[in-house]
């Protein structure tokens, strides 16, 4: 799997709701909703963009910082991520995220090689800061700057 974007957005992915809607309305109805209801289509497009920016390999490293809880929860998060990606691709009749927006897909692929090292550095800095009892004041500016750089690279705040 190629490296996409590097940050994991801890959002509520609509997997369970999407499965329920799919069971209730069927794929044809969901696709018609996307085509006719601008709000619904935009919600799915935004979700697709956020998922395309996520990199589960780096997310796993962040989860590793949470110890046993991270190890316990991350497989569930990853499973939900994969299922939601699958549902979005099915609804969009595509084989990969952002297939219907090649310009954005290309842009995100160009950014990933620059953001991955920054995210990995951030994970390392967080681990060092925590190991030092969160008292190492010299690490704080580097932590702040890596967050700022990741946010700039993703072109999202939050």
2 within some domain? no
| Tokens (6 digits) for 78 | 């990853």
Tell me: the pLDDT tens digits for 18-49?
667 777 878 888 889 889 999 989 999 999 99
Residue 12 clears pLDDT 60, i.e. is over it: no
Tell me: the pLDDT tens digits for 95-153?
999 999 999 999 999 999 999 999 999 999 999 999 999 888 999 999 999 999 998 88
4 within some domain? no
1 within some domain? no
Residue 157 clears pLDDT 70, i.e. is over it: no
Which H or E element spans position 41? helix 38-53
7 within some domain? no
Task: Answer for the pair 74, 26: CB distance below 8 angstroms, yes or no.
Answer: no
Residue 14 clears pLDDT 80, i.e. is over it: no
* Domain span at 115: 15-154
**What pLDDT score does 23 carry?**
78
Residue 7 clears pLDDT 50, i.e. is over it: no
3 within some domain? no
Q: Report the number of distinct structural domains present in the chain.
A: 1
Residue 5 clears pLDDT 70, i.e. is over it: no
71 within some domain? yes
Which distant-in-sequence residues (6+ apart) come within 8 Å of 52 by Cβ?
A: 4, 5, 97, 98, 104, 105, 108
28 within some domain? yes
6 within some domain? no
């Amino acid at each position: 799997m190629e490296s996409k974007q590097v940050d994991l957005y801890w959002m509520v992915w609509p997997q369970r709701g999407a499965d329920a809607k799919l069971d209730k309305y069927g794929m044809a109805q969901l696709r018609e909703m996307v085509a006719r209801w601008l709000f619904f289509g935009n919600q799915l497009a935004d979700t697709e963009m956020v998922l395309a920016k996520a990199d589960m390999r780096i997310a796993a490293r962040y989860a590793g910082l949470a110890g046993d809880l991270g190890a316990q929860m991350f497989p569930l998060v990853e499973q939900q991520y994969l299922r939601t990606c699958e549902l979005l691709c099915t609804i969009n009749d595509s084989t990969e995220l952002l297939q219907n927006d090649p310009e954005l897909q290309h842009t995100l692929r160009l950014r990933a090689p620059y953001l991955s090292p920054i995210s990995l550095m951030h994970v390392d800095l967080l681990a060092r800061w925590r190991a030092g009892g969160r008292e190492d004041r010299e690490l704080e500016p580097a932590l702040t700057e890596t967050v700022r750089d990741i946010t700039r690279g993703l072109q999202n705040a939050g």
